[in-house]
Amino acid sequence: MNFSNDRYVPNLGYLLYPCSLCLNYPNESYLEWSRELSNTLWLWHNILMDSQQNESLGKWLGSQAWARTTAHDRLRLFKLVVQLVDDAHGQGFGFLDLRPWSFDFMEDGNVKYVGRRILFRDYELSSHENPNNSNNNKYGEEMEKEWYAFPDGFDKKKLPSFNVFCLGLFLFEMMCKFELLEARDAAMVDLGHRIIPPQFFCWANDNCKEAEFCLWLLHPEPSSRPTTRVMLEYELLNELENTSATNLNDDDDDDDDDDDDDDDMVDETEPDGLDDVRSDEGVIWGED
């Protein structure tokens, strides 16, 4: 089977598929391809049924539609965002506005980046902004600009690693539930200023694997953060490709046996554990 790089499916439009589809592995069976397509369509059925075309991801995060999705749904949506960033990095571009309000849901099952992008090697001359960005929640956008802001004296040549840092903020904001918006705002401000908030450890107690992955993305040393390609190959995201659509409504917590098995599998690219930072709650990290 031959498909274009645009990943076009007749009668469905352009869809973002997990990176191990038969587009990259031509010897995979049609059954395997159809299973991946089913997973993607189930994800968008759960999410887009409550959202509108061109609604921003930032607006969705503050809605009841977000609350009705499972952690599995949100993690798969995060993976689609990572794929967009990885595609841009592969073409030599970085995102200047990598935050939820810069991504729109599309009716065809796609997620579109509507912020500015730049070429790494030509920062001053190649900045592009999408004039059709129609986000209009000024409070939400202004708060996000503070959370995802470049640190003082930031070297734009480090934009790829800073994009990964922003994906760490993105992951925490997307996955962690807060009783009050004020608590979320305070936690995001702390993380944006390289301070680990108390809420992070509360979240980590029940989501250890996700929290360790998030800390890896937020590593204070830019060179120690993974690339977007490594992120997609990491177990937490890579294993989503083999999850059937029927698992979308399963409980978020894995069985204890599964956790034990995971502990026995150590990969040299895995992030450091939480033990190094758990005793230093509120620690201030270094700058990029």
Q: Determine the pLDDT at residue 111.
A: 86
Q: Do 95 and 102 meet the contact criterion of CB atoms below 8 Å apart?
A: yes
Verdict on whether the full-model pTM lies above 0.75: no
**Distance between CA 187 and CA 172 in Å, rounded?**
10
Number of residues that make up the chain: 288
pLDDT at 181 over 60: yes
CA atoms within 13 A on the CB side of 60: 29
Q: Determine the pLDDT at residue 35.
A: 55
User: Which string of DSSP letters, residue by residue, matches the chain?
Assistant: ----TT-EETTTEE----TTSTTT-TTS-HHHHHHHHHHHHHHHHHHHTTS-TT-BHHHHHTSHHHHHS-HHHHHHHHHHHHHHHHHHHHTTEEESS-SGGGEEE-TTS-EEE-S-EEETT-TTT--B--TT-----HHHHHHHHHHTPPPTT--GGGHHHHHHHHHHHHHHHHH---SSHHHHHHHHHHHHTTB--HHHHHHHHH-HHHHHHHHHHT-SSGGGSPPHHHHHHSHHHHGGGG--GGGGGS-SSPPHHHHHHHHT---TTPPP-SHHHHTSTTPBPPP-
Q: Do 134 and 54 meet the contact criterion of CB atoms below 8 Å apart?
A: yes
Q: Determine the pLDDT at residue 82.
A: 95
Alpha carbon dihedral 136, 45, 37, 101, in 10-degree steps, equals: 20
- CA 176 to the chain's CA centroid: 13
Q: How confident is the model at residue 187 (pLDDT cuts 50, 70, 90)?
A: confident
Q: Do 167 and 98 meet the contact criterion of CB atoms below 8 Å apart?
A: yes
Q: How far apart are the first and last CA of the chain?
A: 44
Q: Please give the residue that has the higher pLDDT: either 223 or 51.
A: 223
The identity of residue 180, as a single letter, is L
Q: Determine the pLDDT at residue 129.
A: 46
* Residue 154, both tokens: 């930031």
Closest to 120 measured CA to CA, from 97, 80, 150, 88: 88
Cβ burial, residue 220 (10 Å; 0-12/13-18/19+): middle
Q: Determine the pLDDT at residue 233.
A: 93
Model confidence pLDDT, tens digit, residues 84-135: 999 999 999 999 999 998 999 887 767 899 999 888 765 543 444 444 444 4
* Residue 126, both tokens: 């190649």
Model confidence pLDDT, tens digit, residues 46-92: 444 444 556 888 888 877 777 788 888 888 889 999 999 999 999 99
Report, as an integer, the average pLDDT of 32-49.
50
The Cα angle at residue 40 between residues 54 and 21, in degrees rounded to 5: 120
Instruction: Please state, rounded to an integer, the average pLDDT across all residues of the chain.
Output: 69
Alpha carbon dihedral 252, 253, 255, 258, in 10-degree steps, equals: 90
Model confidence pLDDT, tens digit, residues 226-241: 999 999 999 889 887 6
